[in-house]
Amino acid sequence: MTGGDQSAGSMSDDQLAAITVGELERIDGPIHLADPDPSWPMLFDREAERIRGLLRERVLLLEHVGSTAVPGLPAKPRIDLVMAVSDSADEAAYVAPLEAAGYLLRIREPDWLEHRVLKGPDSDINLHVFSEGEEEIDRMIVFRDHLRRNDADRQLYAATKRDLAARTWVYVQNYADAKSEVIAEIMQRATGR
């Protein structure tokens, strides 16, 4: 990445382009972190109700994850949801109905757990989709739950996010990648492994 910070594990422009549906969105600047907002859980509830209404029994799990799911944690004002479906590679089963309602498929990662990410029609969300039973779902929930319970790790994560957010980034993904080391450290304490 030119003109900004890049961690060793950060995705290259070509890697990002390969998994992005549509144009890459550059930020070329710092990340905006918002103070904790008590409306974030309500935004999740509204979005979850809409998604469940569209997909019905195809939604096998739908959880609020990420920093907006942790009271007291600053976050990009974007609601992260993780959804399990029977087969995330079967886009016709869930992407088409969501797109008909205004959602937009933005990430397709067939080589990483068949992960998909959709953006909302009128709310700033990331809807992460995996197949049922995928360990990444559990990892996201364990991380969220640990930060909800553990003041020291929540403060460590908040300080790390603030420090990194103040730097210049080309893509939001580069910022996300830069948090990997502290996330791994916290996950080790959360899981004992």
State yes or no: pLDDT of 146 exceeds 90: yes
**Per-residue pLDDT averaged across 44-65, rounded?**
98
Phi, psi at 192, each rounded to 5°: 75, 15
Please state, rounded to an integer, the average pLDDT across all residues of the chain: 94
Amino acid, res. 147: L
Cα separation of 127 and 104, whole Å?
Answer: 10
Residue 125 has pLDDT above 70, yes or no: yes
| Total-model pTM | 0.93
Rounded average pLDDT over 173-179:
96
pLDDT tens-digit readout, 74-96: 999 999 999 999 999 999 999 99
Q: How confident is the model at residue 37 (pLDDT cuts 50, 70, 90)?
A: very high
**Alpha-helical segments (H) within the chain:** 13-19, 40-55, 91-100, 135-149, 151-165, 172-178, 180-191
Give the CA distances from residue 103 to residues 54, 65, 78, 82, 117, in Å, rounded to whole numbers and listed in that order. Answer: 11, 19, 15, 15, 10
CB atoms within 10 A of CB 171: 20
CATH placement of domain 13-191: 3.30.460.10
Structure tokens at 180: 């990997």
- Can you give the pLDDT at residue 135? 97
- 90-106 average pLDDT score: 98
Model confidence at 121, pLDDT cuts 50, 70, 90, reads very high
Burial 86-124 (b: 16+ CB within 10 A, else e): eebeebeebbeebeeeebebbbbeeeebbbbbbbbeeee
Q: How far apart are CA 130 and CA 142, in angstroms?
A: 16
pLDDT at residue 7 is higher than 50 = no
Q: Is the distance from CB of 137 to CB of 130 less than 8 angstroms?
A: yes
Residue 39 has pLDDT above 70, yes or no: yes
Instruction: Tell me: pLDDT of 8 over 50.
Output: no
Domain ranges of the chain: 13-191
Q: How far apart are CA 77 and CA 49, in angstroms?
A: 19
Q: What is the pLDDT of residue 193?
A: 82
Percent of the chain residues past pLDDT 70, beyond the cut: 95
DSSP state of 30: P
Give the Cα separation of 51 and 169 in Å (integer). 32
